[in-house]
Amino acid sequence: MGKTDTRTLVAETVEKVDENVILKGWIDSIRDHGKITFIDLRDRSGIVQCVGQDLPSVTSESVVEIQGKVSKRPEGLINKNIKTGTVEIQVGKLEVITKAQELPLPISSDGYSIDENIRNKWRYLDLRRTRMNTNMKVRSKVANFMRNWLNDRDFVEIETPILTKTTPEGARDFLVPSRLQPGNFYALPQSPQQYKQLLMVAGIERYYQFARCFRDEDPRADRAYGEFTQLDIEMSFVTQEDILQMAEILFTELVKKIFPEKKISKSPWPRLSHREAMEKYRSDKPDLRKNKNDKDELAFAWVLDFPLFTEQSEEDYFHGSGVAKFAPSHHMFTAPHPDDIELLEKDPMKVRGLQHDLVLNGYEVGGGSIRIHQPEVQSKVFDLIGFTKDQKKQFSHMLNAFTYGVPPHGGIAPGLDRFLMAILGEPSVREVMAFPTSASGQTAVLDAPSKATESQLKELAIKVAADEE
């Protein structure tokens, strides 16, 4: 390709005054002044104004190629609102590459007031709006920072299976029917909890993964339906203090680098016991901002010393079927506080767990714990939850694994969506996800769930009761 064929990005035009350039992108807006037409051209780097005479007719959002000369704008016409405001392009040639019909939703606004189902149906257009586009870029920057930070400290990124067995985190499982073993089902992981602990038995010592977690629970503003992403971390030979410090340094450095305009209100981060949080703030995720209207204030906090168990309720999805009435506050692999081991027998509700919740501006943006690594303690916790022999069998691989030399271990899993929502001040996690499911569980653009065909069902040996009614 000759030099004249090379594409210039919109943002680069300010450095190319008096040069001929080829720009490619979308028509952001058109202002027709009779003979003279002004076009704002948009690409991934920004927007630039182009001016031409007798241009071919073109619609907004069409994809075009513009050949033209960069010229300096006179002092009085500089547009301070855009990065390329000092220049404009004198259009020599405008070629329409693909024409856009009228968009089914406006994309020049922030989009908050548009019906969510419409935004989701046309998500690939919704993502063109500046706010959403920026959110996607910030998300990528944050994930890259985390990845590099952990890689630099000896952590190993490992993927764990999506088709797996139940990994309970207190929600309902998504099931996937098996064709090879008709009548049997995989469960999608609610988190990689068991795998990451098994990786500690495997001697990895420091693991992380951007893990997709699947939970069939009702959506809320801070919880999308179906799936979300967390930065899943596990470490061997650590104390709870080590985990808290690691997370605190990671997030403090991340904020400094990616969100320099934000101020962390208190360092080191305040630590509250669960009881203190409940008594003082009536919440286990208190919002400790000094001024809740200040969009740049970040109040991180730790909530510790949760009770290991809560009262089991009818809705607890993974309840035991015995006489026991205890449900794990975090999950069933969380270690009891060493000072409270005796109470496991005498008064289980008084046992504290080595759980830590990471709170930011009133949102729980992560949780984790030191894990049980003694098979007999794990077995005792299963009993207290009221697991039957069969239910215990579902987790026998953990008890078995722990008989082959298991290091003490623990971890944490900050939610990527939740963290971004909190730090960007977005009203819902869906604003930081590219293709979220809607509140009613409909996927963006592709419109799932949908019916399976007769032959698919036959292959899976499944009869749909709803179809027979």
Residue nearest to ligand ASP (CB): 191
Nearer to ligand ASP, 43 or 232 (CB): 232
Binding mask 356-375 for ligand ASP (x = CB under 6 A): -----------xxx------
Is the Cβ of residue 351 or residue 413 nearer to ligand ASP in the bound state?
413
Three-class SS state of 85? coil
Handedness of CA 446, 449, 451, 455 (dihedral sign): positive
Reduced to 3 states (helix: H, G, I; strand: E, B; else coil), residue 357 is: strand
What is d(CA 325, CA 382) in angstroms, rounded to the nearest whole number? 12
- Asked if the bond preceding 268 is cis, omega within 30° of 0, the reply is yes
Specify whether the CB–CB gap between 394 and 330 falls below 8 A.
Answer: no
Pick one of 135, 160, 191, 361: the residue that binds ligand ASP (CB under 6 A): 191
Task: Tell me which residue of 304, 302, 318, 313 sits closest to 381, measured CA to CA.
Answer: 318
- C-beta of 350: minimal distance to ligand ASP in Å? 22
Among 13, 164, 193, 361, indicate the residue that binds ligand ASP (CB under 6 A): 193
111: Cβ contacts below 8 Å, ≥ 6 apart: 105, 119, 126, 129, 131, 132
Answer for which of 68, 411, 414, 436 binds ligand ASP (CB under 6 A) is 411
- State the residue for tokens 């002004």: 38
Residue-level length of the chain: 469
Long-range Cβ pairs for the range 361-365 (8 Å, 24+): 361/287, 361/289, 361/297, 361/298, 361/299, 361/422, 362/283, 362/285, 362/286, 362/287, 362/289, 363/222, 363/285, 363/418, 363/421, 363/422, 364/284, 364/285, 364/418, 365/414, 365/415, 365/418, 365/419, 365/422
The secondary structure of residue 212, as a DSSP letter, is: E
Minimum CB distance to ligand ASP smaller for 255 or for 413: 413
Shortest distance (Å) from residue 167 CB to ligand ASP: 8
Any idea what DSSP says for residue 73? P
413 near ligand ASP, rule: CB under 6 A: yes
List the x/- string, 235-274, binding to ligand ASP by CB under 6 A: ----------------------------------------
Give the integer Cα–Cα distance in Å for 56 and 48: 19
Binding piece for ligand ASP, criterion CB under 6 A, among 85-93, 239-247, 274-282, 411-419? 411-419
Closest distance between ligand ASP and the C-beta of residue 171, in Å? 10
Does position 160 bind ligand ASP by CB under 6 A?
A: no
| Least separation in angstroms between CB 337 and ligand ASP | 16
CA pseudo-torsion sign 208, 210, 215, 221: positive
Backbone angles phi, psi at 71, to 5 degrees: -125, 150
Is the CB of 25 or the CB of 367 nearer to ligand ASP? Answer: 367
Give the residue carrying structure tokens 């058109």. 30
CB 252 to ligand ASP: min, Å: 20
| Smaller CB separation from ligand ASP, 116 or 216 | 216
Nearer to ligand ASP, 369 or 442 (CB): 369
Residues 53 and 37: beta-carbon distance below 8 Å: yes
Closest CB to ligand ASP among 366 and 436? Answer: 366
Min dist CB 88 to ligand ASP, Å, is 52
Closest C-alpha to 196, from 228, 216, 167, 170 = 167
- The minimum distance between CB 39 and ligand ASP, in angstroms, equals 49
Contact 196, 230 (CB under 8 A): no
Of 10 and 198, which has the nearer Cβ to ligand ASP?
198
Query: What is the total count of residues that contact ligand ASP (CB under 6 A)?
Result: 9
- Name the DSSP class of 220: B
Under rule CB under 6 A, which residues in 164-183 are in contact with ligand ASP? Answer: 169
Nearer to ligand ASP by C-beta: 91 or 354?
354
> Given the complex with ligand ASP, which of 27 and 243 has the nearer CB atom?
243
Shortest Cβ 283–ligand ASP spacing (Å): 18
**Closer by beta carbon to ligand ASP, 286 or else 366:** 366
**Nearest distance from residue 155's CB to ligand ASP, in Å?**
14
The binding site for ligand ASP (CB under 6 A) comprises 169, 191, 193, 367-369, 411-413
